[in-house]
Amino acid sequence: MTAAAGQKLDLPLIPAPGRVAVLEVGTGERFNALASAQWQVLERSARTLAADPCVRAVVLRGAGGTFCSGSDLREWQHGTGADVSAAFCAIEAALQALEAIPVPTVALVQGVATGAGCQLALACDLQVLEATSLIGMPIARLGMLIPPTFANRMSLRIGPSRTKDLLYGGRLLTAKEALDMGLVTTVTETGRAWEEVQQITTRWSTLSQASLKASKTAVNQGLAPLDNPARALPQGPAADTKEFFSRVNDFLNRKRQTTHR
C-alpha cells in the first residue's frame, strides 16, 4: 500500500509467516529531510502498522540510498519560534508512534542519519548501518534546543557524559564509532545493509512471535521509570530565536551557493 508525502509501505516483502512491513521515508531528494507534513504521515503509518495483527516486524529505511537528514529547514526559513516548536511536536509524535509498534523494528541506515534522522534511527529497536554512514545530532550548529526526550534516546544507550559530549561538539559519528560507543547495533560493508536486515528478520520468523513481543515490552517497561518523566514534561521552546533563524538562513544560503558552483 502507498502512503502520501513521499512515504511508502510495502507489505509483504520477505516471504515468511506473517508480514515484514518496509516503511520508506522521503523521496530521495535533499537527503530525505522531512517537512512537518511528512512527519505526520510517518506517525499515521506507524500507528497503522501497530494495529495490524499480521505484521511481525517493521523495517524503516530512506528512499534513494540515504536514510534521513532530519527536518526540512526550508519550512522554517520564514517561520516563527512557534512554527519550530510545532514541528518538533510532530517529530516527537512520529517517533513515539514508531516506538509504540509492538513488534521488533529495525532501521536500515545508508548515507546519513542526522538531527531528527538520528532520532528516527534510535526510535527503532535495532539499527543496521553501512560502514560509510554518518550519524549524530549537530543541532548546536543551528541553535536548536534539544528536548529531554531526544536526549534520552541517546543517553539511555551511551550514558549522559557521552551524550553531552556529542551534543556540545555537534560532530557526526562514523558507523564504527557509533557501534563502538553502543549507539547502534550493527555495521555492515557498504551495499550489504539490506542483506543483513533480511537475515535478521528471517531469523525472527523462526522464533516465537509472542516471545519477541514480550521481550520488547519487558525492556521498554524496565526503562519506563527513566523515560516516562521526560515524555510527561511540557514542551519548551525548540529554538533560540535570537540566532536560530539567521543560522538557518546562512546554512541554506551556503548550501545553494555550493550547489550552483
Question: Residue 92 is placed in which grid cell?
Answer: 516527537
Write the pLDDT tens digit of every residue in 144-189: 889 999 999 999 999 999 999 999 998 999 999 999 999 999 999 9
- CATH class, range 8-191+230-260: alpha beta
Distance CA 62, CA 68 (A): 6
Only one residue has cell 538531527, namely 115
| Each residue's pLDDT tens digit, 106-143 | 999 999 999 999 999 999 999 999 999 999 999 888 88
d(CA 178, CA 190): 16
Tell me which residue of 37, 5, 184, 11 sits closest to 109, measured CA to CA.
184
- 71-76: average pLDDT: 82
Instruction: Compute the mean pLDDT over every residue in the chain, rounded to the nearest whole number.
Output: 88
DSSP characters over 85-147: HHHHHHHHHHHHHHHT-SS-EEEEE-SEEETHHHHHHHTSSEEEEETT-EEE--GGGTTB---
Sorted by where each begins, the domain ranges of the chain are: 8-191+230-260
Closest CA to 69 of 129, 123, 97, 109: 109
From the centroid of its chain, how far is CA 206? Answer: 27
